[in-house]
Structure 1
Amino acid sequence: MKWNLRLTAANAGIWKASEMQRLLAERGLVISAGKMSNLWSGQPISLKLSDLDVICAVLDCGVADLLKPEPVAIQAVQDDTSGQDKAVGETAGVTPRPRSGRSLPPV
Structure 2
Amino acid sequence: MKWNLRWVAAKRDIWRPSDLKTAFEQVGFTPSLNKVCALWSSKPVTVRLDDLDMICAALNCTVADLMTAEPVAAEQTEEGDRPQAVGEHPRAGSGSRPVPKQTGGAVGQRRPLPPN
- Normalised-by-shorter TM-score class: 0.7 to 0.9
Supply the distance in 1 between the matched residues of 2:17 and 2:28 (Cα, whole angstroms): 16
Residue aligning to 1:4: 4
- The offset of 1:58, in angstroms, is 0.9
Where does the alignment leave 5 or more consecutive residues of structure 2 unmatched? 80-84, 103-108
Residue aligning to 1:71: 71
Residue aligning to 1:25: 25
Q: For 1:16-49, what per-residue CA distance to the aligned partner results, in whole angstroms no more than 9, with x for missing partners?
A: 1101112212322211222111100101010011
Where does the alignment leave 5 or more consecutive residues of structure 1 unmatched? 80-87
Q: For 1:38-63, what per-residue CA distance to the aligned partner results, in whole angstroms no more than 9, with x for missing partners?
A: 10010101001111111111111111
In the superposition, the TM-score normalised over structure 1's length comes to 0.73
- The offset of 1:14, in angstroms, is 1.1
SS in 2 for 1:36: helix
Mean CA deviation greater in 48-57 or 89-98: 89-98
Supply the distance in 1 between the matched residues of 2:67 and 2:43 (Cα, whole angstroms): 10
- The offset of 1:101, in angstroms, is 5.3
Identity of aligned residues (%): 39
Count of aligned pairs between the two proteins:
97
In the superposition, the TM-score normalised over structure 2's length comes to 0.68
Cα distance, 1:89–1:58 mapped onto 2, change above 3 Å = same
Residue aligning to 2:45: 45
Q: Which protein, 1 or 2, shows the higher relative CO under an 8 Å CA cutoff with sep ≥ 6?
A: 1
